[in-house]
Amino acid sequence: MTHIPDVLLSLCKIIGENGDVTFATRENTSTPPHTHATTNYVIVSEGTLFLTLDNVERPVLPGQWCVIPAGSEHAERFSDKTSVVIFWVNSSHFRERKSKSISRSGLMT
C-alpha cells in the first residue's frame, strides 16, 4: 500500500448521515488518552500506527484494520510518516455485530 494521495488528503473529512470518513497522514506526533462517542474503524495504508487500547500499545501495520469501540479510552502514536483512513460510525446508527475476526486487541484479521 502507499500513502494517501494528496487529492484525498485535501478532502480531509467526508461527512455522512451515519458517520464520517477522515483521511490523514501524520508523523512524529501522538495524542493523549481520549474517547469518542463513535466506533472508529481505522486502516493503515502506509507506516505504523501505535494504538494504545486497554492500556496496551500495539502496532497497526499497513493493510491492517483496528477497531476502537465507542467510549473506549485510547491514544495514538506516529513515529514515521503514517497514512490512515478513519471511519467514524455513529453509535446511534451502529448495530454491533459480534465477529470472530475482531480480537480483544482491537486488530481485525
* Grid cell listed for 6: 494528496
Using DSSP's 3-state secondary structure scheme, residue 9 falls into helix
CATH number (2.40.10.10, 3.30.70.1400, 3.90.1150.10, 2.60.120.10) of 6-95+102-108 reads: 2.60.120.10
Q: How many beta carbons lie within 10 A of that of residue 49, not counting itself? A: 22
Each domain of the chain, given as residue ranges in start order, spans: 6-95+102-108
Each residue's pLDDT, cut to its tens digit, for the chain (109 residues) gives 666 667 666 667 777 888 889 888 999 999 999 999 999 999 999 999 999 999 999 999 999 999 999 999 999 999 999 999 999 998 766 554 444 344 445 555 4
The pLDDT score that the predictor gives to residue 102 is 43
CB 59, CB 105: distance < 8 Å: no
Q: How many beta carbons lie within 10 A of that of residue 100, not counting itself? A: 6
